[in-house]
Structure 1
Amino acid sequence: MTPAAILDVARDGIVTFLKVGGPLMLVALAVGLVVSLVQALTQLQEQTLVYVPKILAVFGALLFLLPFMGDALAGYMARIAARIVAGG
């Protein structure tokens, strides 16, 4: 396997990782920002208040995005398997 092929596989893996993990991280970031803004506006400084909405939002996004995430991971595995079959 040439260094260029190794870099292609690594780049494809990183892009797939960002496709799968990125949307969930963005949902968690948005919910955390909204809850922090509400806390700042109401002067309610409870540290544990962030966790429940964030967990529920990420869980809901996970259920919604699971087909997309599965497709992305299956496509990556198919590309890797095709490279293995082709001999690198």
Structure 2
Amino acid sequence: MTQTMLNAVVKDTIMTAAKVSAPILISVLVLGLIISIFQATTQIQEQTLTFVPKLIATAVVGIFLGSWMLQTIMAFTTRIFDLISKITT
């Protein structure tokens, strides 16, 4: 395995991880920002007010985009296994 191949695998790994995790992270980030603004304006400092909506948003995004996330991870795994089979032959 050359340095170029290793760099390509690392880049592909990071890009796949970012692509799969981005929808959940962005939705929770936006929801957390909205809740923080709401808490600052109303001066309600309840901890469960931030936790429960983030948990629900994570579940909703996971339900709607779970199949896409699974397909993306499976495609990445297939590429890695193909690369491994090319190295050993």
For 2:86, give the aligned amino acid.
A
Moved more, 42-51 or 64-73: 42-51
> In the alignment, what sits opposite 1:59?
59
Q: Confirm or deny that 1:82 pairs with 2:82.
A: yes
Three-state SS of the structure 2 residue aligned to 1:87 is: helix
Where does residue 19 of structure 1 map in the other structure? 19
Deviations 1:23-52 (A, max 9, x none): 111111011011111111211122231000
Deviates more, 1:5-14 or 1:78-87: 78-87
Give the share of equivalent positions with the same residue, in percent: 36
Give the unaligned 5+ runs of structure 1.
Answer: none
Q: Taking structure 2 as the reference length, what is the TM-score of the superposition?
A: 0.93
Q: May I ask how many residue pairs the two structures share in their alignment?
A: 88
Distance in 2 separating the partners of 1:78 and 1:48: 41
User: Unaligned 5+ residue runs, structure 2?
Assistant: none
Could you list the runs of 4 or more consecutive aligned residues of structure 1 that deviate by over 2 angstroms after TM superposition? none
